[in-house]
Structure 1
């Protein structure tokens, strides 16, 4: 990736780079990247971010999917980054929600919220980021999305969420066609990584071929692999330990 921001370090944007997998990916990439981290709320009190900046430049932004000014805010922020010399060569869209309700309990408001956060927001992020990624002189910028193994087996209590992720899966090859050859697009369909508190980790592990649940390091390796694979685009990589091949 040629569009280097400083001292040979590529600059990436992590949309949703504040919690859980986003934070884990930020901590991994900060070893050799400059990073722009976004969140839906203010960054005050996030002391761990300061610890990333020993060798890296770190910029934090607020991109709130609920804001009516979201698109103009994203475009303004990205223009400011460009004018400040931040040449973006990669982006990972991690932001999303994981709502659960039984069939029959969904309302128009809860459906709209699930689809907006898990499909509409990633699309708007891609739309804002694409022109800046396309300016990479090497033509090897990479835009990556986090999906879910519900692509293979929909979550019945999270059916609108599963539908949104299926829509996002359609965007991956579509955006690859729209943005190629200068920007590659890759998705990651994740199995269980950092399960919610109270989950039965042993049960979840037994329902994979590898007999373990995933770790943040599994995602970090996959993201780096996609970024470093110049002939890979329009594809969705599944990281679920073989879960989809286990009988339900």
Structure 2
């Protein structure tokens, strides 16, 4: 095992001349995997103040639009990897809603539906889809929402890929918020409707803040556009998903 920075890099086989490979950056001294080493790496990646997942979560919660601008400007080394973070949030979401059975509970909640809900059948089907294909639907929200932010904020001159990055920034803490909030239903199933309202309110407030920071419209215009985008995104994705399911039934 190399301990003095000589020999060849274990990763790219380049000649070593110090503590790190000048070609790929890997450390010259590589430990054999042990449980202590694995636990240390996991703990370090989550909690270390330099580019950690928790630090990144705090950064995008406080200034989502500004973080997106940094990423567009090429200031990426200072942040935890965005797409890795989104995948982690989605994985936590999948485990959480599966464990809590949140959407099944919400789907059968009489307080949520009421006696005269004209969208009852469509919403029940939507919640069934979230139960069975939640991860797929979460991922599908990104390009659909990006399409509408691109259309409604054209003056920003951002391309579609940059809107996709921005929406990944915004949806990551939203998905994580759902994961945490849905666990509250385990304490009392009657909280399902209130939890759903809190989730929707969080997204509207948070995306309004992000849109304001990134696109610099006034608050009235920002909130109006945010509400319209949310409505159109939901309409498109649920209409498409429900039509696919109904076509499958036929």
Say whether the fold is shared (TM-score over 0.5): no
Give the number of the structure whose alpha-carbon radius of gyration is greater: 2
From the two aligned structures, give the one with the greater helix fraction.
Answer: 2
From the two aligned structures, give the one with the greater strand fraction.
Answer: 1
Q: Report the TM-score, using the length of structure 2 for normalisation.
A: 0.27
